A and B are shown apart, each in its own frame.
Chain A
Amino acid sequence: MSELLVKNAYVIDPVNGINGEVMDIAIRDQWIVEEVGSGAMVIDAKGQLTLPGGIDSHTHICGTKVNFGRYMSPEDMRAGRMPRRGSMHATSGYSVPTTYGNTYRYSTMGYTTLLEGAMAPLEARHTHEEFTHTPLQDTMANTLFDGNWAIMEAVRDGDMRRVAAITAWTLSAVKGFAIKLTNPGGTEAWGWGEDVTCIHDQIPHFEVTPAEIITAMITANEMLNLPHSVHLHCNNLGKPGNYTCTLDTFDLARDLNKNRQTLYATHVQFHSYGGSSWKDICSKSEEITRSLNSKPHIVFDMGQVLFGRTTTMTADGPMEFNLYRLHHNKWSNHDVELETGAGIIPVLYRRSNLVNSIMWAIGLELALLTDDPWQCCLSTDSPNGAPFVRYPEIIAMLMSRRYREEEMSSVHPGTEHRVPLPAIDRELDWEEIAIMTRAAQAKALGLIDIGKGHLAPGAEADIAIYPIQIRDVDPSVDYMKVKEAFATTAYTIKRGRVVARQGDCVVDGINSTIWVDPQVPPEYDISNDPEFVKKFDRYYTVRMRNYPVQDVYLERQVCLRPEVSL
């Protein structure tokens, strides 16, 4: 048994309604408790800002396409080199760091839980192998179902129980956490070099539409009682005029769950464009947030773009090819049989570029125009909009109108006529930032019940102490101090242990992977279904016996076993 007492913490804990109280936090082993004995180790937080550990609800850190981003980019690897030091391994990479690079940088920023945004089931083992080498955070994986043949067939046949059964078997076989749809239907069409333009296009050969897939998966998600909702990357990403497609997609979601949203829309910035071409592209953040404000059952993340170099990577293969044809840099693509796709290209977002400047503004607008911060998770879709190490800049801009104006003055001069940003006065406060970087994520992912995202007794002792006395700081003026403070914690505590101190990681750590195993009754076990097995055997190139991810890949795990209603 080990005990730790964090004294004089200036706590903001939105889940428990604590907004700026100086208090002590008692920790026994990995849990927060009411009190500890006098022998407990003491950390004096000295009134510094203390929050639950950060949670990233959409980032790309581990797996086949992330690793291919590294593999194809020695120029990016050179940009983040650190030697082995203390208990830290050597690291490489800036926009796509090595696994140790990710884990150390996230940890020193106070992040303790990460959701990998996209895992192809067939290649799940790879994601889990990399998770093992991401030791300072708890991890989970969105599992891709956007082009799943068996699911599309069941949707076509209108057999919802079958959709749910296939989903349950797959999630549990690959030790995934949630349902991810990336350009649903589009990734299958891309198997022929084609794409879909929006939710009502027919998917070649399968006689279903993206709308039907999305609706069916939302229903299946609720039948399976999964902790998270469907996690959706809408169709038609990155195209001028795509906001109407996004609005139509939002209209598909009904409020079906009283504890959380029924739809999580990811990187909405990339889906909020007006205009009819690159020449007249403009921001439609007002229309998009008007819809979101009237739909509390949708939660989204920003997908903020920041200027500079990065790497884009997504399961959305056709989108990456289009982007490549604009950038002419280098292009990788990796389609996955019967399931999904992937594409990767490096990009440079420039201030001098009008389109890039508009993208930059839209992300901020989405956060500032959404009334309820619980609906908006701070993200860059790292590394797509920018690497996660740049989150502190976003926080500072959201808290300071002056900072935004200063940035605005250096972007493409045409921007101000195409975006509402200059007219927005709102400055977010500390509590709103705390919500948008951990509490909203914990709620949206359904993790509050297992002790994530808050600091009440019973919660897991994942805590970030930032070197800032917020009572002495006016963020709207001192935004550089805000940025600095969120870049490096004074202490990051993970599972009751100090794991990072002032920028140094001090323990080896072991990650824990959170996954779901829906308790499907035997008669709905799809792995006993002759038709399913026959097609699997015939068309996959891996035998069904060799497909599930074995237990050995998860050194530590938290398995959630929802009761289902089929």
Chain B
Amino acid sequence: MKFDDVLCPFCGCLCDDITVTAEGGRVTGVDNTCLLGTSKFLGDNRLKNPIMRTDDGWKDVTYDEAIASTLDALLEADRPLLYGWSGTHGEAQCIGVHMAELLGAVIDNTSSVCHGPSILAIQEVGHPGCTLGQVKNRADVIIYWGCNPTEAHPRHMSRYTTYADGYFLDNAFRDRTVIVVDVRRTETAELADVFVEIKPGGDYAVLSALRAMVRGRDEMIPDSIAGVSKEQLRHIVEICKNAKFCAVFFGVGLTMTRGKYKNVRNAIELVDELSRHTKATITPMRGHFNVYGSNEVNTWMSGYPYAIDFCRGIAFYNPGETTAVDILARKECDAALIVASDPAAHLPSKCIRHLANIPVVQIDPYPNMTTAFCNLQIPVAVSGIDAEGTAYRMDGVPIRLRKVLETEYPTDTMLLGRIYEAMMEVRGR
């Protein structure tokens, strides 16, 4: 069977023009995906059933047994953590928040290790943004700062920026100027009209210099900043001020390097400054296909995008104290439910060591690095392949994931729903 206009459940581009062919309960072909998307759709190697760790290796268990044991682990804990969420659909994320509230748990998503600093910056100064179609149809200047879409978001440039058809551009490719700012000459940099190579850790200083120059304070700027010549900075400011629409995109090269959220704040304030001369917008390059959805869901349910601690009944938010990284590094957490992410692949080693010492239940279709130390893994349908649901693109546009395979696996919503119901029996009302 052939399905058109399917969403790719891999990166924050959330491409929705994929053609998928499925036969005999598996995906046999995909069109329009990039390599990352293709391997997601064709990926096999799913866990067949729930597995539980015993003294002598893994043992197969039923879903009922797995649910009972998850319930025990979470109800017995004093400081449970519900972590992950970026790889599942919104409906499951909603149940996660209800569950955290009922348990008095900490609920956190992978923002803690990617765009958490962007959120902190936005909470200080706001976020002048737009949907990606605004950029596609209007932007004549594109800036990629500390991100490498060619590798991490391979269709970003063809769908939304450099190579995309734009209503107000005669020849989109020729009419757009692409500026790439990074600490090394990436593949994306090779495609740029202007490449700005910054010394590692120099983003903040360069952003400050650009802001000053947009304000007309050239005289304050030394001849070179973090390896970038004043002349090149002046050139960039000219390009931006003369743009009709200048769109900035940034990635973990800005959020996770020296300066962290201050870098992002400075970038936002640069866009704010440019907005007094022309149209300017800024967009974080969100990684997982629904990490932004997790922020959205958490926000309407609890008031905060991530790092929410319900231990006092109310929703309490204080990144630095209440993220997964914080409560694991302090060894406070005494049981964890991991949903749709692989913390062993991205949390600091200190946190992983602690996770290895406490009961960990993982809900994930595939064996991954976290499987190495979790006590129980429960496979589910893959969101966007055999499960439907809502995902939010990096710019906040919500689209419904399609389902191309029938499945025996429960979806995240079904499985978490059952666990939550069982929890309500014990703790509810």
Contact = CB atoms under 8 A, between A and B. Distances in A.
A77 B398 contact: no
Interface stretch (B218-226, B232-240, B301-309, B371-379): B301-309
Given A542-B397, A546-B5, A130 B315 contact: no
B300 A74 contact: no
Given A70-B299, A92-B304, A543-B16, A333 B398 contact: no
B131 interface: yes
A541 B132 contact: yes
A540 interface: yes
Contacts of B305: 71
A81 B302 CA distance: 9
Contacts of A552: 388
Contacts of A100: 301
Mostly helix, strand, loop or mixed at chain A's interface?
Answer: mixed
A290 B345 CA distance: 68
A540 B136 CA distance: 9
Nearest to A102: B300
Interface in B150-184: 159-160, 165, 167-168
B304 A74 contact: yes
B7 A71 contact: no
Given A129-B90, A344-B126, A541-B160, A336 B317 contact: no
Interface string A91-113: 11100001110000000000000
Interface string B249-282: 0000000000000000000000010010011110
Nearest to A64: B396
B42 interface: no
A277 interface: no
A345 B126 CA distance: 8
Interface in A138-170: 149
B399 A98 contact: no
A331 B101 CA distance: 31
A333 B396 CA distance: 12
A123 interface: yes
B245 A192 contact: yes
A100 B303 CA distance: 10
A539 B101 contact: no
Interface stretch (B117-125, B191-199, B202-210): B117-125
Contacts of B295: 71
Contact of A77 (B4, B281, B304): B304
B279 A330 contact: no
A133 interface: yes
Interface residues of B, number: 65
Given A98-B300, A546-B400, A541 B429 contact: no
Given A333-B130, A541-B159, A90 B398 contact: no
Contacts of A89: 98, 101, 301
Given A77-B317, A123-B398, A71 B131 contact: no
B128 interface: yes
A91 B310 CA distance: 11
Interface in B19-51: none
A86 interface: yes
Contacts of B102: 84
A253 B429 CA distance: 54
Contacts of B165: 538-539
A193 B275 contact: yes
A415 B132 CA distance: 45
A67 interface: yes
A98 B396 contact: no
A83 interface: yes
A333 B129 contact: yes
A74 B123 contact: yes
B39 to A, nearest CB: 23
A75 to B, nearest CB: 8
A550 B386 CA distance: 18
Contact of A539 (B5, B133, B278, B392): B133
Interface in A180-236: 191-193, 205
A100 B97 CA distance: 13
Contact of B136 (A335, A337, A545): A337
A90 B315 contact: yes
A82 interface: yes
Contact of A541 (B7, B124, B131, B388): B131
Nearest to B271: A333
A468 interface: no
Contacts of A344: 126
B397 A122 contact: yes
A543 B302 contact: no
B330 interface: no
B313 interface: yes
A331 B396 contact: no
Nearest to A126: B398
A344 B403 CA distance: 36
Nearest to A540: B133
Interface string A536-564: 00111111011000101000000000000
A540 B278 CA distance: 23
A70 B305 CA distance: 9
Nearest to B310: A90
A125 B133 CA distance: 17
Given A337-B136, A539-B137, A541-B397, A192 B98 contact: no
A205 B168 CA distance: 9
Given A122-B397, A192-B244, A93 B138 contact: no
A441 B87 CA distance: 43
Contact of A125 (B128, B244, B299, B399): B399
Interface in A36-88: 62, 64, 67-68, 70-74, 77, 81-84, 86-87
Contacts of B396: 64, 68, 123, 126, 334
B94 interface: yes
Contacts of B303: 70, 74, 77, 81, 91-93, 98
Contacts of B429: 86-87
A338 interface: yes
B334 interface: no
B53 interface: no
Contacts of B122: 71-72, 332
Contacts of B159: 541
Contacts of A543: 5, 16-17
B315 A77 contact: yes
B289 to A, nearest CB: 14
Interface centre among B90, B94, B397 (most CB of A within 10 A): B397
Contact of B314 (A62, A81, A192, A332): A81
B364 interface: no
Interface string A514-555: 000000000000000000000000111111011000101000
B82 to A, nearest CB: 15
A372 B245 CA distance: 47
Interface string B82-111: 000000001000100010011000000000
A336 B278 contact: no
A156 to B, nearest CB: 15
A250 interface: no
Contacts of B354: none
A193 B160 contact: no
Given A71-B296, A192-B138, A541-B159, 13 more contacts: A67-B296, A68-B396, A70-B303, A92-B314, A191-B245, A192-B244, A331-B128, A332-B126, A337-B130, A541-B131, A541-B133, A545-B5, A546-B16
21 contacts: A67-B299, A71-B122, A81-B315, A83-B314, A84-B101, A84-B102, A92-B302, A99-B301, A125-B399, A192-B279, A193-B275, A324-B126, A332-B126, A333-B128, A334-B129, A337-B131, A338-B133, A538-B165, A539-B136, A541-B132, A545-B5
Interface of A: 62, 64, 67-68, 70-74, 77, 81-84, 86-87, 89-93, 98-100, 122-123, 125-126, 129-130, 133, 149, 191-193, 205, 321, 324, 330-338, 344-345, 538-543, 545-546, 550, 552
Q: Which 5 A-B pairs have the closest CB atoms?
A: A337-B133, A92-B303, A83-B313, A77-B303, A330-B126
